[in-house]
Structure 1
């Protein structure tokens, strides 16, 4: 895991130098300059946090956060490393049937769950089971339909014919459960980073 700013450090440097140059050019008193720099710094931190949180739900911000090195997921060698989000969860950038989604990684979930919207966008048609499938969620017990995802990609990880459950009650949340994690060679948490290692890494 890279704890520094990485290859995009110049962006942060420019954002810091610009206000300093402007203040020096105006010959602003030292105390006032320090106060203004602190304000600029605080605003930048808040902006970075807001963008990082918004990106979980807005795919159009994914490229922007990647440029600023705010993306929480990266591939190192054959491993996919996902940094813990500010909400205390791990969110994975996955592709299902060509559709990009942010998925909550939940080892407490037995099976992977898709929202009805995601299933429809990915062209996945759930089947009504012979017997009702009841899922216990934080909001109580719900009834769900079953389906299979032909291919789910997550960095170097590819899962094929992955069983899932689909229900409108999931809202806009998609969850990667234990039936996905169990397909991996290994998975572990190192500090605040989730590390996923596939059996057969894909480019």
Structure 2
């Protein structure tokens, strides 16, 4: 599904308004072009700011939804996530009522949370009898196990999901295969990740 088309028409419509006003006033052509370029730059900057901040502000989230600026959309029974500029897929996730931006990594066996995210979501790591060491892209790190009561990504919900928690993860939270395997299906089409839950939630 092409997400670019609707945005182009919206931006074009917004740019036509100042252009029409300038033409009606018979402003010189060069000045029209300069002002049009300025308006275009302003709208582009606004779109980027709104797209980055929408996960922090519910009002901005509504704006991005209307303008199709959000990189995560629920369409029917599916959740569609556009690839980020860094080549990865990032999802807006609800952990026990706490909002976080998480990296989706099919190469990670289990979902991993930073200590800060676990604390914010009220997730208490278990006290292991023996130290737990896991392999990561940055080498071996010590971690503790825990359970997320409710993890929601769009209309996909996982309950009592096992996770690992460690301060070594820094500020990065990762959705691993133990979440993806709970879905009915998941696939990548072009630059879009499509998740289909077994039982879509409202």
Alignment TM class, shorter chain as reference: 0.7 to 0.9
What is the TM-score with the length of structure 1 in the denominator? 0.86
Q: Deviations over 1:79-138 (max 9, x none)?
A: 111111122111112111111221111111111011222211221111122222223334
> 2 CA distance for matches of 1:118 and 1:112?
12
- 2:99 is matched with 100
How far apart, CA to CA, are the structure 1 residues paired with 2:22 and 2:137? 52
Offset from partner CA, 1:131-173 (integer Å, 9 cap, x none):
2222333433221111011111112211111110111222222
Return 5+ residue gaps in structure 2 as ranges: none
Q: 1:66 corresponds to which residue?
A: 65
The answer to whether the aligner puts 1:189 opposite 2:193 as a matched pair is: no
| Cα distance change on mapping 1:135 and 1:46 into 2, 3 Å | farther
Q: Which runs of at least 4 in structure 1 moved beyond 4 Å after TM superposition?
A: none
The answer for unaligned runs of 5 or more in structure 1 is: none
Number of residues paired by the alignment? Answer: 199
Task: Quickly say closer, same or farther: Cα 1:139–1:77, change in 2 above 3 A.
Answer: same
Distance of 1:40 and 1:137 partners within structure 2:
45
Q: In the aligned structure 2, how far is the partner of 1:25 from the partner of 1:138?
A: 60
SS of structure 2 residue aligned to 1:5: helix
What is the CA distance between 1:196 and its match in structure 2? 0.6
Change (3 A) 1:66 1:180: same
Deviation of 1:64 after TM superposition, in Å, equals 3.8
Question: Aligned to 2:85, what secondary structure does the other structure show?
Answer: coil
| Aligned pairs for 1:120-131 within 5 A | 120-131=119-130
| TM-align CA RMSD | 2.3
